[in-house]
Structure 1
Amino acid sequence: MRNQIEAIVQTLNGNPAFAYGTQAELNTLADDISFPYVFLYPLQPIEVSPQVNGSVDNMFTVYMEFLFKTDFGQFTAENETYVSQALQMASQFVVKASKYREGEGRYFRVKAGQKAKCVPVYNKFDVNTTGIGLTITLSAMYFDVF
């Protein structure tokens, strides 16, 4: 799942870099990277749903942050441009995730009308970053039949 999300991030406008890890790990990684950056936090929860036909659907709740480096001492109003740019990247991610193909078919199912939540993120990490936090549920299209 992480690899597929990273592959989608690599196709976004602005060429953001990608990292995966816990809050503490990402804070450490943020010290030595170039921005913009997309941080993926560990996938929680993973919903496993048995189906009548013997298959199992897997739904993953994903939390990611689309961040830009900002200067210390900037006011929230001065960072709105970054929030707007990050929101565009997050929106583009949702569209590309719904179209992402691996092999013969789409890898994720993003249901129409399903809400993805975005919240502004200000002054995050030691290096001071601003952007958007995206929470979305992705359903894996490829599952096993036992």
Structure 2
Amino acid sequence: MVTRKDPSEETCPVARTLELVGDRWSLMIVRDAFDGMHRFSDFQRSLVVARNILSDRLRRLVEAGILTTQPASDGSAYHEYVLTEKGESLFPIVLALRQWGEHHLFARGQRRSHMVEKRTGKPVPLMTPRTSDGEVLLPGEAEVRKPR
């Protein structure tokens, strides 16, 4: 039997991040929170996910400090899930996944959602890694240095 590393002992930031938000439901919840959803019922309706799975992922995201709960804005007995500053910092990850999917998973002219700047209505520019000098950074021009 193969056992996974304890996430707190993992030295790779990618592995630690995926342990927390690497499953479909967690990232889709974060995506929906960016789109303005706050209530359990809204997440469930959007994602068509079993209640127990949604409850588990919401709990984990709250425990990780990505979401927080607050009383419902309409004064009802419910509570709402709101992105924290830590959660909002996932925006580049969600945007990068969106842009990769737009480029690789849709045929030209195929119907899909679009992300635009609210102020201008223009498409959000393609995210591109840059060097410290502002040049485009290619994969072969970066390396991971592992701790010893």
Provide TM-score, normalisation by structure 2. Answer: 0.28
- Structure with more strand by fraction: 1
Tell which structure's C-alpha radius of gyration is larger: 2
Q: Which has the higher helix share?
A: 2
Highest RCO, 1 vs 2 (Cα 8 Å, sep ≥ 6): 1
**TM-score normalised by the chain length of structure 1:** 0.28
